Amino acid sequence: MIYFDNSATSLHKPQTVYDAMDAAYRSEAYGNPSRGAYPQALDGLRALHKTRKKLSGFFGTKDPKKVALTSNVTTALNLVLNSILKPGDHVITTDQEHNSVLRPLYRMEDQGVSLDFLPLDEEGCVRISAFKNMIGPNTRAVVLNHGSNVTGALIDLREIGRYAKERDIICILDAAQTAGTRVIDVCDLGVDILCFTGHKSLYGPQGTGGIIMNVDLDSDPVFVGGSGFDSFNHLHPDLMPERFEYGTPNVVANIGLYEGISFIERTGLDRIEQHLNSLRRYFYASVRSIPGVRVYGPKKGCPVVSLNIGTRPSGEVAGILSDRFGICVRSGAHCAPRVHEHFGTQAQGMVRFSFGWTNNMQEIDRALEAIESLI
């Protein structure tokens, strides 16, 4: 089996992730955090703090209080968008967005939030030059997909981040596809709020993710309930990280996430980025030279390449790659409808190859051979 669906989830985790989670469960050492002062409850609390501290260093905030742990990036984005946007606010976003941004925003549009979309150019890159002209007096936030889950196109953040900061516009970054594939320093990039998932390129388990809140904001909590303290208050705590955390968290999964990031740090993020870039560059250049293959997206990007073979439905191609060659890829619309509308692939979809640390050039050669055989 060759696994090229790392944008969906990284199937192969570091051994230390498995070992730590297995040991954490079997030790019966982690109780419910914030729900007691006995050792097991305290160790649950300490385990979450350790993961927050690791994430705060990894994303450049250096302050664990700015990290809220959620169950995935969709939850993180919903919590952020629903807690800070109000009817009458204007939001600038992009045609590159995933439905985890689009659907919360579309729903808010029905409630009086106005939206503008930065368009894509011919290659599928966001035209950031349109940003300044879209800003209005009520522009509250700009929501940006850091790397497309369809084309791999990366957005140039620095200019938007700097410009947004000058105008008190909140810069929100969806780093679902980029966290763990390149250095992301929220302070350096001018990002106010970063939403990430833990189970893709951070090599943690599914059910992990979070919010890096690099700004002080008034917000209304979306979910309220048990926080483990201040029980007689009718209101949920409006402090980080509790503002975005409610109920019993998944301690063991977050222990796994800690180990996933530790693996990246041991391996070296630069080294991982170079490896992923090499795989992408080789696949992109090689597959484009196969007659009948159309590749979407720019030459450089995060480790995602999507294509089609002639007019064959993407699902049919993905099915053959799986059944005949044991190659796992994703087909269809990839939850990013505006990208497909841009390229006119609503019906055909796209066949997506996405790479991870454990992939190698030999696997890419086998994929290229498989694609050539389908022409």
Contact positions vs another protein (CB under 8 A): 33-34, 37, 42, 45-46, 48-49, 52-53, 63-65, 227-230, 237, 239, 241-242
- Least distance to another protein, CB of residue 227, Å: 8
The CA distance from 289 to 365, in Å, is 13
Residue 337 burial by CB count (10 A; 0-12/13-18/19+): exposed, middle or buried?
A: middle
The CA distance from 227 to 248, in Å, is 8
Residue with tokens 């007096």: 137
| Alpha-carbon distances of 183 from 7, 98, 154, 309, 363, rounded to whole Å | 17, 21, 13, 34, 26
- Least distance to another protein, CB of residue 49, Å: 4
| Alpha-carbon distances of 16 from 20, 26, 129, rounded to whole Å | 6, 15, 44
Closest alpha carbon to 256 in 76, 10, 38, 5:
10
Closest alpha carbon to 251 in 78, 52, 107, 13:
52
Q: Which two tokens stand for residue 369?
A: 């051979």
- Least distance to another protein, CB of residue 37, Å: 4
- Least distance to another protein, CB of residue 135, Å: 32
- Which CB, 22 or 238, lies closer to another protein? 238
The CA distance from 99 to 106, in Å, is 10
- Which CB, 68 or 321, lies closer to another protein? 68
Q: Which two tokens stand for residue 35?
A: 């729900």
- Least distance to another protein, CB of residue 237, Å: 6
- Which CB, 53 or 366, lies closer to another protein? 53
- Which CB, 183 or 239, lies closer to another protein? 239
- Least distance to another protein, CB of residue 59, Å: 17
- Which CB, 110 or 216, lies closer to another protein? 216
- Least distance to another protein, CB of residue 231, Å: 8
- Which CB, 64 or 180, lies closer to another protein? 64
- Least distance to another protein, CB of residue 287, Å: 47
- Least distance to another protein, CB of residue 228, Å: 6
- Which CB, 52 or 90, lies closer to another protein? 52
- Which CB, 65 or 312, lies closer to another protein? 65
- What φ, ψ does residue 65 adopt, rounded to 5°? -65, -20
Angle (CA) 180-182-186 rounded to 5° is: 90
For the beta carbon of residue 168, count every other beta carbon within 10 angstroms.
9
Are 307 and 351 in contact by the 8 Å Cβ rule? The answer is yes
- What φ, ψ does residue 147 adopt, rounded to 5°? -145, 130
- Which CB, 65 or 103, lies closer to another protein? 65
Upstream peptide bond of 241 is cis (omega within 30 degrees of 0)? yes
Q: C-alpha dihedral over 178, 260, 258, 241, to 10 degrees?
A: 20
- Which CB, 24 or 113, lies closer to another protein? 24
- Least distance to another protein, CB of residue 52, Å: 8
Q: Which two tokens stand for residue 334?
A: 């990839």
